[in-house]
Every structure is written in structure tokens, then in C-alpha cells.
Amino acid sequence: MRVIDSVAQLRAALDPIRRRGGRIGLVPTMGALHEGHLTLIREAARVSDEVVVSVFVNPTQFTDAADLAAYPRDPETDAAMAASAGATVVFAPTPGEVYPAGFSTGIRVGGVSEPWEGTARGAAHFDGVALVVTKLFLMVGADAAWFGRKDAQQVAVVRRLVRDLNIPIEIHAVPTVRDADGLALSSRNVRLSAADRAKALAIPRSLSAAGAAVADGETDADLLTARAHEALRAAGIEPEYWAIVDPDSFAPLTRIETESLAIVAAPVGGVRLIDNELLSP
């Protein structure tokens, strides 16, 4: 497994694979790898000849400088974990390599990027995601890329970006990986105290309860949303949002007639958590 920090070295390393018709997979990450990331890497390795894992804390998608500074970084551990899961290349560029002096280009994906996370984190968040993902796709020239469904709106933004710009890459979304207690894996979970972690379990419970109700025939999205808000508040959590949306456009739904998505964002102990669950009527 090779660790590469420049675009020129990356392309030189991948050119022989591409010339002989090998399949290149990409798993974009911001490091602080956990089992969720490793699941993505294993999925990519299963069907790829070369697996590139990018490790880059992207400054353009942070709207809070303190949040960027506090984001966990452990490049040596990340590289070892990526290799253990099947990565053949770790691409770990510096901010200056990705955004050199004079960089002045931006990308905006309208519509799906605007509500929910786009509102909560500001328009610059998904603009930054779209920009760095596009750059990674062009740097790596991968045949396919793997993302986690926990960041469902991000996946929807990336899918729209690829469709709109005719980028020749397959996008794979892998189901959310959870701890044994049901909490969705996140690099931010390490900042939860034991008490706050116990409280946070109300978030996946609210989603599971909605899924069970829909399976039993409930189709009123407004009713399910109101119940979820009540349950979270009873657990001492004030959600930023809990809603049922179309999985592609992220437009809110009032009735569940086809596969839908329940989404939630809530602060717990100063840590902002997001989660979601597909609802099938």
C-alpha cells in the first residue's frame, strides 16, 4: 500500500492500472477512519483492481473555523486501517495541493443541496463538498466511488453533480454502519460522554419507530414527524430537524406512498449528530 500526497504522483501510480484496463475504485474520506469507512473500502476492494482512499480534511466545506480545527487527525492510523481493509493507495494531499495559490473556481449544486443540511450548515458546506468531490474524481479518474448512506443528503448531492456534469463514474451508497447499541458510526462520536451517548440513542430509536409504523401501514408523514419530535424532546433532545423526504430531491413529503427517507439532525452534548432511515410502505 502506497501513501501519496501529490496529484502528479497519484496519476503516475494509477496510469499503468488504467492502461491495462484495470478497475479503479475511490473512497473519499476526511480521515479519522472507523468501521463505517472500512466497510466502504472493503466494498470497493471486492470489485476493484486498485482502491484509492483519499484522506483530506476539506476546508471549503467547513463554515466554522473551530469545527475545522477540532476535526480529529491521525494520518498514520488512518493509513494502517485503510490498508487493512484493502486500500492499495492512500491519497493524502495538503490543502495547498488541492487548492493552490490563486485557486478561484467554485461548484454549486442547486435544489437538493439547499434544504436541511444546506440550511443548517450554510450554502458553503455543500458547495465545498461538490468542489472537493469533483476535484477528487478528476484527480483519481476512478471508475466508481463509494459513500456511506449516513450522509444521505451528501450522496444525493453527489449523484446530482455526476448526472448534471456527465462525469463518467458510478456512485455506490453503502448502508449505514451502526454500533451494537444502534448509534450510527461517526468520527464525532468520540466526543460524546457516556451519559450523552446514552441520550443520543433516542435518535436511532425515533427512526426505527417510524420505520415500524410505516411497515404497519401508517402513511401520514406529518403524524410520524410529530411523534418523533415528541419522543426526542422527552429524551432531552431538541432536534434541528426530523422530517420525511423524497430520497432524491430531499423535498418534504406529507404522505408516504413510495420509498421515502426519514432524516434527523440534533445536537447532543455539544456534538451535532445526523442519521436517517429508509421507509418502505
List active site positions: 37
On whether 154 is known to bind a ligand per the annotation, the reply is yes
On whether 61 is known to bind a ligand per the annotation, the reply is yes
On whether 187 is known to bind a ligand per the annotation, the reply is yes
On whether 50 is known to bind a ligand per the annotation, the reply is no
Q: CB under 8 Å to 192, separation ≥6 — which residues? A: 200, 268, 269, 271
CA–CA separation, 260 and 250 (whole Å): 9
E-strand spans in 124-209? Answer: 144-148, 170-174
On whether 36 is known to bind a ligand per the annotation, the reply is yes
On whether 35 is known to bind a ligand per the annotation, the reply is yes
On whether 139 is known to bind a ligand per the annotation, the reply is no
On whether 30 is known to bind a ligand per the annotation, the reply is yes
CA–CA separation, 195 and 114 (whole Å): 33
On whether 272 is known to bind a ligand per the annotation, the reply is no
The DSSP-derived string for 68-120 is HHHS---HHHHHHHHHHHT-SEEE---HHHHS-TT--------STTSSTHHHH
On whether 37 is known to bind a ligand per the annotation, the reply is yes
Let me know the angle formed at the C-alpha of 126 by 124 and 131, rounded to the nearest 5 degrees: 90
On whether 48 is known to bind a ligand per the annotation, the reply is no
Cell numbers at 182, concatenated: 444502534
Report which secondary-structure segment, H or E, holds 214. helix 202-215
On whether 150 is known to bind a ligand per the annotation, the reply is yes
On whether 73 is known to bind a ligand per the annotation, the reply is no
CB-based contact 125:61 (threshold 8 Å): yes
Let me know the angle formed at the C-alpha of 276 by 240 and 85, rounded to the nearest 5 degrees: 125
- Residue 217, classified by CB atoms within 10 Å of its CB into exposed (0-12), middle (13-18) or buried (19+), is exposed
Question: Closest by alpha carbon to 202, among 175, 244, 237?
Answer: 237
On whether 27 is known to bind a ligand per the annotation, the reply is no
**Residues comprising the binding site?**
30-37, 61, 148-151, 154, 177, 185-188
Binding residues for ATP are 30-37, 148-151, 177, 185-188
Q: Which residues are annotated as a binding site for (R)-pantoate?
A: 61, 154
Summarize the annotated binding site for beta-alanine as residue ranges.
Answer: 61
